[in-house]
Structure 1
Amino acid sequence: MALVRYNPWQEMNALQSQLNRLFDESFMPSRLWKDGDVKVPAAELQETESAILLKLEIPGMEAKDLDVQVTEDAVYVSGERKSERKTEEKGYTRSEFHYGKFQRVIPLPARIQNTNVTADYKDGILNLTLPKTEAEKNKVVKVNLQEIVA
């Protein structure tokens, strides 16, 4: 049997690697990913008693360039940001903007009336008000409790 020298830093490196994976960009879809990957808009979802409020961050686009479709249980948003080509006589132009198509499907926590959705798009923020169905508004779930006898 071979003896292996204990290295306490190896455990620290493993912990650092796990933390890096936890905060990796793949868990944060609103960030720009590596070349070839897609950038999706960041979303904020708030549920009230009568509606679901969805806010999407889509800067640099016009409302006519967005396709928003709503079903009873999900919202589908897609669009395309077209690149603006610039040429400079001296050197190169560098851009960290993301151009191209994107799409995102956001499942909703409750059923909604997709015929009564209202939308507002201003300053790169898309606000959707998704009213809940009457059945969802009045939904009460009875929980049966059983006493455990030890």
Structure 2
Amino acid sequence: MFRSLLPRLREKSVAARRPASMADLMEDFWREPFGALPALFKDMEYPAVDVSEADGVVTVKAELPGLEPGDVELSVENDALVLRGEKKFADEEKKDDYHRIERSYGAFSRVIPLPGKVREAEAKARFDKGVLVVTLPRDAAEAARKITIES
């Protein structure tokens, strides 16, 4: 669109590998409108988790497809659940020529803040179809207390 209107300016910015004007920014946007989106997601943590609480029990669900219970280590440290583990690359066939590998491999660690003190000794964890489910009972002594306001 703008390339035909401002060819010299566009040539300069292409040579410099950066936009030189607002016209270049618009050209880049129209060519690839969602090109900046991958940068928004680069800091997402692994594994993805859901944290919920009901009836005094905190439940953490973590997506860990392809892992076994022995591949994951759990601990509670400083009012946070710590998940550690390693997803190993299973390259059994040497003749495969990969063109693209998007699945992640390697060691991971995730610290999930808990919404209060929990009774660590009563915590339970289980795998269910690639999802790790950890249940942590809240400590009743540390429950939130209501403060009345005097007038």
TM range (shorter): 0.5 to 0.7
For 1:28 and 1:99, the matched residues in 2 are separated by 15
Task: In structure 2, list runs of 5 or more residues that go unmatched.
Answer: 1-21
Task: In structure 1, list runs of 5 or more residues that go unmatched.
Answer: 1-5, 30-39
- Among 115, 123, 141, the alignment partner of 1:117 is 123
Cα deviation, residue 122, structure 1? 1.9
Q: Percent identity between the aligned chains? A: 29
SS of the residue corresponding to residue 120 of structure 2 reads coil
Largest Rg, 1 or 2: 2
For 1:66 and 1:84, the matched residues in 2 are separated by 17
For 1:142 and 1:125, the matched residues in 2 are separated by 39
Q: Which has the higher helix share?
A: 2
The answer (yes or no) to whether the contact 1:51–1:132 under 8 Å persists in 2 is yes
For 2:89 and 2:121, the matched residues in 1 are separated by 34
SS of the residue corresponding to residue 64 of structure 1 reads helix
Q: Does 1:24 align with 2:31?
A: no
Q: Which residue of 1 aligns with 2:60?
A: 54
Cα deviation, residue 48, structure 1? 1.8
Equivalent residue letter for 1:92: D
- What TM-score, normalized to structure 1? 0.68
- Among 85, 107, 132, the alignment partner of 1:126 is 132
Equivalent residue letter for 1:119: A
- Among 94, 97, 104, the alignment partner of 2:103 is 97
Q: How far does the alpha carbon of each residue in 1:6-44 deviate from its partner, in whole angstroms, 9 at most, with x for none?
A: 98x87xx7xxx9xx57x8104533xxxxxxxxxx10010
